[in-house]
Structure 1
């Protein structure tokens, strides 16, 4: 059953979560753009987080990001429990709400990993993020039914990539974001941010699928490996720069959601309209 009224504290928790994600993806986009321009090594989200550690007040920033990722996880769990995205209680709706739970748990685990990094546990190793993807894939493949588990994870990641591409291309984010002058001006960047992130996730999913198909963990790549693959394509540095701008856009999108996301089930000023509601009202005025 959907619950209609979420606790008010879910809003600051949500804002903290999206802000932490925004910071990480802004850094990742900047590192990727630098790699495209200079020809240096590409980095993944782990590299972006480790860049934070070397910044002024890096330890403090790491703890704040770790807390933010946990907050994002809590937000997704609450959104699923109270059905804050109005998915409903039918089979499709429950499947989408279950996906919120999964992403919530993943982000809480990521938050714990960032906290471990802040404590000096599990720091940089020679292999980088790509090695990390291969390592955990190797461990899962050794489990009973490991190929199936990795294969299902690959399809889930690929599906998430498709979801993000459609969300940006079809402007589905307009259901949740407040309509104002700033959000309207940022729309092109928001759209490309979703599409770029989706493309990267799809590449990660494809490589992970081949790792499952061939029982070869070396095929698995993280986000850094996916970005390196893009650079290896014809015109790769140009493509990488284009994707880098999209990742920066995805970081901006997270900050926009932190500030302007409208959450159903939590009290709001009745004058606040989402971009979708504003567009619908405008269409009605034209028909009148």
Structure 2
């Protein structure tokens, strides 16, 4: 948002965290974020082991539970990386992180395939978030109340915006794999810079920034109001999807009665 309205460089995750580290009480905040990532990773392990998302024991369900374990490992790794940054051994924030690791992987046996698979995974995740936001699929697991209803437009755009950014990262990573050119790879900061370079980019960047803020708010909403299928909850609690369905039925009966 700052880059859109006041100029300057767009920042990726690492650069943003280093800015946080240098802010007042930044070290404490960075340690809290690192701890949060590790806790989130552990939560993914617990959700996979006890099947708290009701994925089941069939082939598809087991694959989805394995994906929870993989994302758990990734987040624990991110937490460790943030702890290293808090200790002052996290390296520079020159924005070359994506290109650096892509170059390292491309040098490995089958490196192009590894990078290509990673690109497809990131692109797929981006498309998933866009669809999830556009079709409002998040409503199925968020409690319906006055707060979530008011925030829904921001939640929806948050998913779509985050998905667009991820898709851009995935596409350019794919170019890096196809051309064996690590310089084509980019992280979140590079994707945001690409958006700013488009026609009307300043406005697009500002709108995307608002969406990413919305995605952050969505995470806060989930932390407080998410309905976990495998955990018992009050029968009075309804999801946003259930409330919308009940409202549609009531309106349909009213039209029929009229």
- TM-score with structure 2 setting the length: 0.93
Judge which range, 159-168 or 69-78, deviates more: 69-78
| 1:130-145 superposed matches below 5 A | 131-145=96-110
The answer to whether structure 1 residue 244 and structure 2 residue 209 are counterparts is: yes
Corresponding position of 1:84: 52
Structure 1 runs of 4+ with >6 Å offset: none
Q: 1:198 aligns with which of 156, 163, 168?
A: 163
Q: Distance in 2 between matches of 1:95 and 1:157?
A: 17
Q: 1:260 aligns with which of 225, 228, 234?
A: 225
Runs of 5+ consecutive residues of structure 1 not aligned to the other structure: 1-32
The SS at the match of 1:221 is coil
Q: CA deviation at 1:96?
A: 2.5
Which of the pair has more CA radius of gyration? 2
The SS at the match of 1:186 is helix
Corresponding position of 1:210: 175
The answer to whether structure 1 residue 95 and structure 2 residue 60 are counterparts is: no
Q: Distance in 1 between matches of 2:194 and 2:251?
A: 48
Q: CA deviation at 1:287?
A: 5.2
* Larger RCO, structure (CA 8 Å, separation 6 or more): 1
Q: 1:71 aligns with which of 39, 46, 67?
A: 39
| 1:1-288 superposed matches below 5 A | 33-125=1-93, 127-128=94-95, 131-286=96-251
Q: How many residues align?
A: 253
Q: CA deviation at 1:266?
A: 1.8
Q: Distance in 2 between matches of 1:106 and 1:120?
A: 21
- Give the superposed CA RMSD: 1.4
Q: CA deviation at 1:87?
A: 2.5
Q: Distance in 2 between matches of 1:197 and 1:187?
A: 15
Runs of 5+ consecutive residues of structure 2 not aligned to the other structure: 254-258
Corresponding position of 2:256: none
